[in-house]
Amino acid sequence: MTVNTSRRGFLKGAAAAGAVLVVGVRPDGALAASGNPSMLTPFVQVGSDGSVTAIIKHFEMGQGPSTGLTTLIAEEMGLTMDQIGYDFAPSNPQVYNNTLFGPMQGTGGSTAMANSYLQYRQAGAAAREMLLQAAAQQWGVDASGLSLQDGVVSGAGNSAPLGEFVEAAATLDAPTEPRLKDPSEFRLIGNPDVRRLDSPAKGNGTAMFAMDIQRPNQMIAMIARPEQQRATAVSFDATGAEGIKGFISADILPNKAGVAVFAENTWAAMQARDALDIEWDTSNAETRSSDQIEQEIRAALDASPTYNVNGADVSAVQAAVDGADTVVEETFYFPLLAHAPMEPLNCTIEQTEDGGILMHDGCQIPTLPHGAMAEIFGLPFEKVQIKTVLAGGSFGRRATPQADYQVEAALAFSLTDRSRPVHLVWSREDDLRSGYYRPAFGHKVRVGLDGEGNIVGWEHRIAGQSIMKGTPFEAFAVHDGVDHSSVEGTVDSPYQIPTAAFGLTDTDKATSTLWWRAVGHTHTAYVMEVMMDMAAKAAGIDPVDFRLAYLTGDDADQTRKANVLKLAAEKANWGNAPDGRSQGIAVHKSFNSYVAEVVEISGNADDGIKIEKVTCAVDCGIAVNPDVIKAQMEGGIGYGIGHNMRDKITLTDGVVDQFNFPDYEPLRISDIGEIDVHIVPSAEPPTGVGEPGTPPAAPALANAIAAASDLRVATLPMDDNGVSFV
């Protein structure tokens, strides 16, 4: 396996090796092929030396698309995984767009595999058919009798390495509808023994993350930012920085959002930044505290919602709840959360020989910074290039509608004479205090039960800070005033809940809001699944049976959700926890995948809880790389549990209170025991795996705590609200 870290170097190398066949799609989506890599931006490139390279249009933040999309090409071309390499695609929204995003290249919403599954298989299948056709012509036989397996074309008494047919294949037209392999022919798709292609480099220090980019003669830039959002820099005194060895200069960013410090190395930049004396204009600065944000949200929950999300007859629903035999009600509050990817944000910008701009970035949505840089530098779109390198995590943070850190780097670069590359580096403090957070949300739910424990009414109010409003994604995600990301997982739940009303009220944002792994489901799943648990308990019905009663429909939404619930319960030996242990369960659909989780704990809320085991069942359609899917469930569970155990971002007079990991403690190895993941066999198209493991984890933990201690945690994080962990 080879990883080509320099796309331009790779293309040059391919040309030097001889003929090349590239297969991809035209901007209209039709398959196309060429013998000239400069004529087509491909999905797969085949060299006459037999080398095959998958071109990956999604970025790699650990979720596995470099392995996954390469698997698709290798499968259709009959290759083993060590006969193929991969390279990250350049920024090109026409060819490398996420087909679920429209004309935008980007990774998010757990869509990498879902939108690439057929596209990459078709490209691999087209390459296979073209190589077979070229061999058939050379051998004077019918292509239908030939096959491509393990890098060798054979049939009709002939056999030769695929590289021999590359030159001839590159002169053929791409087939319009190449035959895709039948699942019965799969050797790699669904194979649990396929390993990650990026494991070796990530274990020996050679993997190149954005932070590791060291361009010749580069400067390090760091930005001194105001403590309160929307404060602006007026003036600064750099006298204190001038004696620091390696300090070059400092200047106010053109948008006044901070002061850029340039230095020869990172340590000098950090020290020089600390030594600046800056005067800020705070007249428009944010001054609210998180207590005030919480009060606004809680007040909104007590008022009639702005939006009637499901067009319910609200008074009828209220009457149904009020008239019920039992009413179960709870009010929930979810604080701001930071993403805190392991690699602090950073990117490098340089000027190319032809006066264009090249950015090196672990880039999640290349189209957004691409456009922003073209505007900032006054360049046509095609004069800006983005080279995507490995990202050390993201969880959504590397994709902001404003392209925040890339714009910051571009503005810093614009302050220089552009003769030296500029590598913008953030510290962990910059990351936690940057102002982009999972928004704060509140829910207030009243559930009415009849004498037999059936739900007869469900009144659900949501209040919080919209993510999508005021962004380029508004038209896509906001309909009739309702930001879907504020309510996803409630009104569209597969549960068949009779007589339900879902209302939404937007509250003001004191900070920038941003999608955070699983977006709205991070709070909606918690509320839905804790309420179902509370209702089951009030009804005196087992929590699994209670949920299944609302999943009795014949459509796939109900059956798939019911199946993962039953599978997780079975694998966890639900209801038969060992002595001293308690179980909680939750199930949730997100990103078109269905995940159920059982959390098993020891101890109780007062003496300390230990998370002993998590059992997970996932239905994500066809499991392309089963072990990657298991890893994403394991990681998603850890992400959901860790933050809800003990993390929050708070503000005092508009200033973020947290500085670094000691104040925003990550999940540690000792916090969580075994995670046992089971994948439901499926022939359905692949759906998301990066995010869906996260939503059920915290409510399953909350339900286990309630089983152990009779304590319902409705305000997060848990350790601020009555739960201690050992």
Identified binder of another protein from the candidate list 140, 157, 205, 216, rule CB under 8 A: 205
Q: Which stretch binds another protein (CB under 8 A): 317-325, 337-345, 521-529, 710-718?
A: 337-345
Q: Which of residues 237-256 bind another protein (CB under 8 A)?
A: 245
Q: Which stretch binds another protein (CB under 8 A): 4-12, 146-154, 334-342, 443-451?
A: 334-342
Count residues binding another protein (CB under 8 A). 63
What span, in angstroms and rounded, lies between the C-alpha atoms of 89 and 289? 43
Handedness of CA 167, 58, 597, 463 (dihedral sign): negative
Q: Does the footprint of another protein cover residue 711 (CB under 8 A)?
A: no
Binding mask 268-297 for another protein (x = CB under 8 A): --x---------------------------
What span, in angstroms and rounded, lies between the C-alpha atoms of 135 and 123? 18
- Please list the residues that pair with 601 across neighbouring strands: 582, 611
616: part of which helix (H) or strand (E)?
A: strand 608-619
Identified binder of another protein from the candidate list 37, 344, 457, 621, rule CB under 8 A: 344
Q: Which stretch binds another protein (CB under 8 A): 124-132, 206-214, 525-533, 577-585?
A: 206-214
Q: Which is nearer to another protein, 206 or 255 (CB)?
A: 206
Q: Which stretch binds another protein (CB under 8 A): 151-159, 280-288, 348-356, 660-668?
A: 660-668
Smallest distance from another protein to CB 634, Å: 6
Supply φ then ψ for residue 662, to 5 degrees: -60, -25
Q: Does the footprint of another protein cover residue 62 (CB under 8 A)?
A: yes
Q: Which is nearer to another protein, 187 or 428 (CB)?
A: 428
Name residue, tokens 């080879």: 2
Q: Does the footprint of another protein cover residue 642 (CB under 8 A)?
A: yes
Task: Give whole-number Cα distances, 101 to 108, 475, 484, in Å.
Answer: 9, 12, 15
What span, in angstroms and rounded, lies between the C-alpha atoms of 339 and 438? 8
Identified binder of another protein from the candidate list 15, 180, 319, 342, rule CB under 8 A: 342
Torsion from C-alpha of 391, 393, 396, 401, nearest 10 degrees: -30
Identified binder of another protein from the candidate list 369, 393, 584, 654, rule CB under 8 A: 393
Q: Which is nearer to another protein, 341 or 584 (CB)?
A: 341
Q: Which of residues 42-61 bind another protein (CB under 8 A)?
A: 60-61
Contacts 24+ apart (CB under 8 A), 718-724: 718/644, 718/645, 718/646, 719/645, 719/646, 720/646, 720/648, 722/605, 723/605, 723/609, 723/645, 724/605, 724/606, 724/607, 724/608, 724/609
Smallest distance from another protein to CB 464, Å: 24
Q: Which stretch binds another protein (CB under 8 A): 98-106, 200-208, 504-512, 545-553?
A: 200-208
Q: Does the footprint of another protein cover residue 668 (CB under 8 A)?
A: yes
Identified binder of another protein from the candidate list 108, 258, 635, 699, rule CB under 8 A: 635
Q: Does the footprint of another protein cover residue 660 (CB under 8 A)?
A: yes
What span, in angstroms and rounded, lies between the C-alpha atoms of 247 and 586? 53
**Helix %, strand %, coil % of the chain (to 5):** 35, 25, 40
Identified binder of another protein from the candidate list 391, 463, 501, 525, rule CB under 8 A: 391
Q: Which is nearer to another protein, 245 or 479 (CB)?
A: 245
Identified binder of another protein from the candidate list 184, 662, 681, 683, rule CB under 8 A: 662
Supply φ then ψ for residue 466, to 5 degrees: -60, 140
Smallest distance from another protein to CB 344, Å: 7
Smallest distance from another protein to CB 265, Å: 4
Nearest alpha-carbon partner for 582 in 562, 607, 610: 610
Supply φ then ψ for residue 503, to 5 degrees: -120, 150
Identified binder of another protein from the candidate list 674, 684, 685, 710, rule CB under 8 A: 674
Q: Which of residues 71-110 bind another protein (CB under 8 A)?
A: none
- 244: which residues sit within 8 A by CB, 6+ positions away? 263, 268, 271, 272, 275
What span, in angstroms and rounded, lies between the C-alpha atoms of 123 and 40? 13
Q: Does the footprint of another protein cover residue 265 (CB under 8 A)?
A: yes
Contact 473, 496 (CB under 8 A): no
Task: Give whole-number Cα distances, 411 to 178, 249, 363, 408, 538, in Å.
Answer: 47, 15, 18, 5, 58
Neighbours of 169 (CB within 10 A): 27
Q: Which is nearer to another protein, 401 or 666 (CB)?
A: 666
What span, in angstroms and rounded, lies between the C-alpha atoms of 107 and 104? 10
- Please list the residues that pair with 423 across neighbouring strands: 220, 348
Identified binder of another protein from the candidate list 12, 159, 267, 685, rule CB under 8 A: 267
Q: Which is nearer to another protein, 176 or 670 (CB)?
A: 670
Which residues of the chain form contacts with another protein (CB under 8 A)?
60-64, 195-196, 198-209, 211-212, 214, 220, 245, 265-267, 270, 340-344, 390-395, 427-428, 627-628, 631-632, 634-635, 637-639, 642, 660-662, 666-670, 672-675
